[in-house]
Structures are given as C-alpha cells and as structure tokens.
Amino acid sequence: MTTQKHSPDTEGQPARCLARSIGDTLVGEPQLEAVTISSEGPEISIATLGRTDSNQLEQRVADSMADSRTVSADYDCALLRPSGDCSSCKIPLRAEEQQGFTVHRDGIKTTIARITCPTSPRFWIWRKLPRIVPRAIELPGEDDDLDEWKPQLATAIVCGIAVITGHLVPSASLALACFIVAYLSGAWFAVEEVVERLRERVVDIHFLMLAVATGSAAIGEWAEGAILLFLFSLSGALEHYAMGRTQKEIRSLFKSAPKTATQIADDDTESEIAVESIRAGTRLLIRPGDQFPVDAEVVQGESASDESNLTGESKPVDKRRGDSVMAGTMNLWGSVQVNALRAADESSLQKIIRLIRQAQKMKAPSQRFTDKFGSGYTYLIIGLALVMFFVWWLGFKLPAFTSTDEISSAFYRTMTFLVVASPCALVLSIPSAVLAAIAWGARRGILFRGGAAVEQLAETGIVALDKTGTLTTGELTVDRIESFPPGNEKLIEQIAFSLEKLSDHPLARAITQHGKRNEIASLKMSDFKSLTGMGIRARMDNRTVVLGRRTLIEEVHSSIACPEQESDEPGMSEVWVSDGESVGRITLRDEIRPLAASVIEQLRKEGLRTLVLTGDKKSTAERLRKEVSVDEIRAELSPEQKLETIRMLTAAGERVTMVGDGVNDAPSLAAAHVGIAMGSRGSDAALEQASVVLMYDRLENVLAAFRLSRRARAIIRQNLVISLGTVVVLAVLALGGAIPLSVGVLGHEGSTVIVVLNSLRLLFGRN
C-alpha cells in the first residue's frame, strides 16, 4: 500500500480529476472523514464520524464528481493509478506535497482521508453511495401551509352557528336544515382525512367520529351528531393552529435567503451566479445591505455583520480579514470579498433548518407508544362496541334502533360508547405538547432534534460541561508570543500558524485568524500528525516541529528545557511550540461567560450536579472552580478520557447531559443521555452528535432548555391523565347507560380541546 499527501489549493486550475475533486470536498466538509473509490467501476463509499446528515454528504460528493472532467466508467485519474502525475489536475505525486488529505492505495481501491488523529478511524461509519440526483437548497417552511387551520376554524364556526340556530328555531324542518348545514361544514375536512386513510387501509378516530355522527342521524339524533362534529372540527382546527404556530415561529427566525451572488474571477471580473452553484473556494463580492449567501471567510475589506437572526446578538459584529461570516446574516456597511468555506446547502442556515425539520419528524418515546396503542385501541373499541350492541339488544332486551323517552336503544348506547371510548384526546396529548415545546425553544434559539430530546432532558441528573467555548466565550485571541531564548518570536509565530491552519480547535482557530490578519507566511510542512489530547507533530526542513502541551515538547525534544514560569492569569491558555533548536510559547486569552456562575448556581437549585471536563491543566481548572463554583472539575483529560468519564457515569446509573462545542466533544455528546451543542460557532461534528443545539451560543439557554423540558414533561403527564381519565370515567358510565350521547360528546370532545389548549401553554408561557 502506498500513500501520498496533497495540497487542497486548486485555484486557477481549469479542470480537476475525480480524486482531487473529492479531496477538496473532504477538506471543506468537517463531518466527512474519508472516501473510497474503485478503479474498476463506479463504486464509492464514504466514512463519517457518528451520526450525520448522510443525504447532504452524498450530495456534496456527487457534486464533486460532477465538477470533475474524468467521471467515466474507468475513472481515468492518475491518483488511482500506480504512479505518475495527474495531467488533469496537475498534482505531482511526491511526498513533499503534503497538506490537507491523504491518498491510500490498496489494490483496486483508493481511500482519500482527511488528516486526523489516530483514534478517529475507530468511530468511522462507512456506507456505499446510491445514485444521487441534484437537490435544491431548502428554505424554511417552504412546503408547509401555515394557515391550514384557518379554513378548518371557519368551517367549525359555521358548524357551531348552525348547531345553535338549530336549537333556537321553532320549526322542526328549519332545525333539521340547520343540522344538515352543521353536518356538511363540520364533517368537510374529516371526510377528506378518512378517505385518505382508507386508501391506506387505516381506520382512525376520524372514521369513528364520522361513523357516530352518521349513526346519530340515522336514528334521528341530528342535534347530538351535530354537536359532536362541531367539537371535533374545533379541536382539529386548534391542533392545526398549534402546528401552524410552530412553523410560523420557525420561519420567523429567518429572512428571505438570496438567490444569486456576485462572483469574482481570477482576472477580477464580476459575474452573477446562482447561490446553488457556489462551491468551497469560490470568491464572492458582498456589498453593503446584502446577505452573505454562504458560510465564508473575509479575505479583503472591512465591515460589520448583523447576526441577530442566527445568534440572537443584536449588536453588529465587526468583520475584517480572516474573520468568518455565516450564511443568512446581513453585511451592514462595507464592501467585502469573501471565500466560500462550503456550498450553500451546507451553510449554517441550512444546517439549522434541517435540525428543525428533523425535530418535527422525530417522535418522542411516549408519542411512539400512543401511536402504536392508538391504532390497535381503535380496532378494539370498534369490536367491543359491536359486541355491546348485541349484549344490550339480545341480553338486556333493549330496542335495537328506536329509543323512547324512558329507554335508549342499543344502537344509541353503542354510539355513545364509541364516542367516549375513542382515543382522540390521547392521540393529541403528546404531539401537541412536543410541537409547542419545539416551537418555543426554536423561537429562543434552543433547537431540539426531536421529541425524544424534549422528554429525555428532564430525566438528567448530571450536567457535564466542556470549558473552552462552553463555560468560556470561545472567542480566543493571541495575547503574546514569546521565544526562549528571545529573538525567534517570528519563527515561532510562523510554525504555529502553519501547523494550526488545518485544525478546527478553538485554540487553532485563534492562531489561524491571527496569522491571516497579520499576513504571516506559511511554512512548508510534511508528515503532519495530530496527537490526540497532546498537540501536533510535523517535519520542516528535515527537523521535527511540535505544537501543543509543555509535556509534548519535553517528550519530543527532551534536550530543550522549557522555562518553568507559567501564566497565572485567569482566562489564559498556553500553546508551546518547538523546532528542536528553540522553544516558544503563545498565550491566548479567553474570558469566562458573564452568566456562567449564575447558570451553574441555577442548575444546582434545579437539583442538577455540575461537572466540568477539560483538557486544561489542574491549576487553570481550580481557578475555574473558584470563579463559577461547579460541583466537580476533572482536568487534563484527553477526548478518550472525557468519553470514558461519560460512560462510567452512565454505567453507574446516572443520566448525564453533555454540553460542548468542539470536535473532541463529539464522542462524549453521542455517549451522553442528552448531548447539547453550542451551535452558532460549534463544530459540525458536535452539531451532528447533539440532541439539542443552542443556536445563540448562550449558556443560559442550557438552563432554559432544562426548564422547558420539565414543563413539557409535566404537561404531557397532565394531558395523559386528562385524556385517559376522561375515557375511563365516561366509558364506565356509557357501559352502564348512565349518560346520554350529548353528555358523552361534550365530555370527550371537551377533554380534547382542553388537552390542546393545555399544550399551547408551552408555546405562550415563560420559563
């Protein structure tokens, strides 16, 4: 097996080979770990780290294939052949060209993998790609009818007016006409639902309600059947109102996304291109007042960005060379040129939209139970009602269909039993509460990735938190650069920038941003290797260079003595750099979030134990303990040790919620009972593994999410008690013939309305 490494820089090349196109995609897609292609046929597999949006990744790889000129049956690409340069993309296959990704050749298969830590492949999940067709960018709520409840409410009102009029008019014929109008208006949408379900061979509560209303009319009880349809249509309108409000709250988070963008070519000419065609590396001109169409990095000019729709921060954020901008945010006052970091369908905006759509489709555990229960229960009630008809008719000698003033018929009692025993309120009790909770959270930047997270978060007993980017702001800045002996500060700065520009860690982002702003020249590195929990090692001019912890420097370059003095200032982090001849230290400043101590105290008052898991040294951790008063801190942990801590607590019977934002937090987020990611600037790996995403990066929303989850669980339990209690009480009375159909209708449909209104308290309430 042979290995070559290549630079991802493709600017100015007229065409690209298949392997190069995929390699560029790999570098630009943090959640994509590796791609395997066969030289004998169109067989492609991709590897991801844990749970991901596979459809989006497949689409990105497909786009890369479409961009390549060598997508053919034999995959004519030099990177897939034993030796030689690639004439299509002009990549020399030499060991010196090492940046970005590796190409491993094993027989007929070639694997293109990102440069990562040695432990990452253990967590990779492989899958073959199916045939993929291009997909358009998704817009929030574009396929949803937010006002579906309005015509349903209108027909319910017409039905109600007709029912009241029918009871007030003195003429029996006019009353009958009013009740017929009530039937037509009240059953209009229910008939559509029943027809659609019957085509799927499904019988549900809509069928039961229509059957009871029809049966009531058949025995002359038009008034009671009309009341049933009025209350049933009203509860249906309220249910769709709750769903519509959910969609409207979500859609209000976003402004209309731009459809085109101004591209700047290599010769500085400008042209309009569709946002869908933007790829990583595309240079764009963004004028004042325009929205940033994709996630990008500022390469020229200065401005400020309004990020309030994505981060909740109303204050404009200054942007200059090296800063990143997010899709969907507004450029306020200056013209800037940016390089796209990823395609439009992989932007922060699209990511959030997909998270919300996932949340609406993924059901809570109790909802899945009621779905299974409701279907079988409906058939059971129909069967039991049929049996009771014959029991009342043949066993108790009641009239079959004709009621008298003293005795109700067997059929009348059967209709009453069908109404009170149907699971209408039960079916609505959980999804209405879950949807309302998801909408309330989305409006405040708390994105639940499904109903399960809404319920499970309330079960948590321990909250484990990462430090950098979670308890701290994560906005690290380079404070000072030192060399020992003095005089080599520029070299230390260059080495650090050259090593860190391929990493996504907050420390690396700060050093990379510092290097870009100061236009620091990058040095040529080879044999790049990430040492999990320790740092980075590479080769430069036949010398080994390392960056990371002090212990790593002392281990690799034992002949060099690191100075003993350490920074004792709160909020300071250190990165050590050595090239074997000199050693240096880069000090970075990070501030603890202003509300961190208050949030920790409030979590404690909620009965939750707090635990900080950090890779920082113990002295820094102890200072953090004093400032924010967490219950426990475990310091100097590698990502594997963080994961093992979560697993040990889980094995001991604890329900752990993990809060983090980095790539190294992703395994712990996945292993925890509930994972919460800081979503605004969190890594893609963390967002993919989290069950809850805090869109605004506000730590206080962790507390809000817990309180919302507990309120939602309480309301779900209240709804279940109301719905099941009503069914049990009314069903017992109906079996004994103690209630008329009108009372059964009022009790059953009244409980349904109460359940929906109770759920809506989540949407309009406060935590």
Cβ 531 vs Cβ 548: under 8 Å: yes
For residue 737, give both structure tokens: 């013939």
- Residue type (1 letter), 228: L
Which residue among 53, 63, 323, 466 is the active-site one? 466
In which element (H, E) is residue 749 found? Answer: helix 741-764
CA distances from 760 to 456, 470, 753, 755 (A): 20, 32, 11, 9
Cβ 736 vs Cβ 632: under 8 Å: no
Please, which residues bridge with residue 537 across strands?
529, 546
CB atoms within 10 A of CB 486: 9
124-128 vs 260-264, strand pairing mode: unpaired
- Residue type (1 letter), 456: Q
Catalytic residue at 466? yes
**Residues 724, 728, 729, 731: is their CA dihedral positive or negative?**
positive
Residue with tokens 């650090």: 496
> ∠ CA(621), CA(624), CA(626), 5° rounding?
115
Q: Where are the beta strands (DSSP E) in 491-596?
A: 526-531, 535-540, 543-548, 572-578, 583-589
Please, which residues bridge with residue 306 across strands?
330
**Whole-number CA gyration radius for the chain:** 32
The answer to whether the peptide bond before residue 121 is cis (omega within 30 degrees of 0) is no
Cβ 302 vs Cβ 317: under 8 Å: no
Cβ 629 vs Cβ 437: under 8 Å: no
- Residue type (1 letter), 646: I
For residue 208, give both structure tokens: 């039961």
- Compute the distance between CA of residue 696 and CA of residue 310 in angstroms, rounded to an integer: 7
- Compute the distance between CA of residue 587 and CA of residue 414 in angstroms, rounded to an integer: 79
- Residue type (1 letter), 509: R
- Residue type (1 letter), 290: D
Residues acting as catalytic residues: 466
